[in-house]
Structure 1
Amino acid sequence: MAMSSILNTDDIKKALHAFAAADSFDHKKFFEMVGLKAKPFDDVRKVFTVLDADNSGFIEEEELKYVLKGFAKDGRDLTDKETQKFLKAADKDGDGKIGVDEFAALVKE
């Protein structure tokens, strides 16, 4: 499933451009800019499924590095610092990975 079937392509491009510089990624602003924050849980779950590249039911640290590429192929990789910050913000149970409910809670923050 392509993100463009869930979110507006222009919104995705604007958000990727806004966070093009290394260490500039802010998940709260990003989710708001792409329009995900306003979407119902079902759409958030669909986005989670796209980002869960190995279909494990979780977004692990390695997958987080490539989260922007999940939104568009030309998205950049997150830096290690950004990846750690993102994981820390979402991983409420401390298991080192993000489940769909943790992801949804993070999106809605």
Structure 2
Amino acid sequence: AMTDVLSAEDIKKAVGAFSAAESFNYKKFFEMVGLKKKSPEDVKKVFHILDKDRSGFIEEEELKFVLKGFTPDGRDLSDKETKALLAAGDKDGDGKIGADEFATMVAES
């Protein structure tokens, strides 16, 4: 579970901070949720939790529900937010975010 890696309090605070539509900022979110200061192993654990279908990638459909991956009451991202998040993370242009790309996003935040 996400709370094995991150504190429930940080998750709640971070998800709550972006509850307004079109407000999602992944850099601020990763920082607030405490992911930025985690080890590469922990970042990978979070990646695998978000990779719901275990494909080894976080696809656009999964990105839409990224906040729900942190907490069940997280909102869905809008199409615009989802596409912006994908564009920010998808360095090789294959339309999805791999584990290394995710780690890079976290490091950049």
Q: How does the TM-score come out when normalised to structure 2? A: 0.98
1:76 Cα deviation after fit? 0.3
Q: Distance in 1 between matches of 2:11 and 2:36?
A: 13
The aligned counterpart of 2:37 is 38
The aligned counterpart of 1:77 is 76
Q: Distance in 2 between matches of 1:4 and 1:40?
A: 15
What do residues 60-107 of structure 1 show as CA deviations (whole Å, max 9, x unaligned)?
000000000000000000000000000000000000000000000001
The aligned counterpart of 1:88 is 87
The aligned counterpart of 1:49 is 48
Q: Distance in 1 between matches of 2:80 and 2:71?
A: 21
1:37 Cα deviation after fit? 0.5
The aligned counterpart of 2:103 is 104
SS across alignment from 1:11: helix
Q: Distance in 1 between matches of 2:66 and 2:15?
A: 11
SS across alignment from 2:45: helix
Q: How does the TM-score come out when normalised to structure 1? A: 0.98
Q: Distance in 2 between matches of 1:36 and 1:16?
A: 13
The aligned counterpart of 1:62 is 61
AA of the residue aligned to 1:104: A
What do residues 11-67 of structure 1 show as CA deviations (whole Å, max 9, x unaligned)?
000011100001000000000000000101000000000000000000000000000
Which 4+ residue blocks in structure 1 deviate beyond 2 angstroms? Answer: none
AA of the residue aligned to 1:26: N
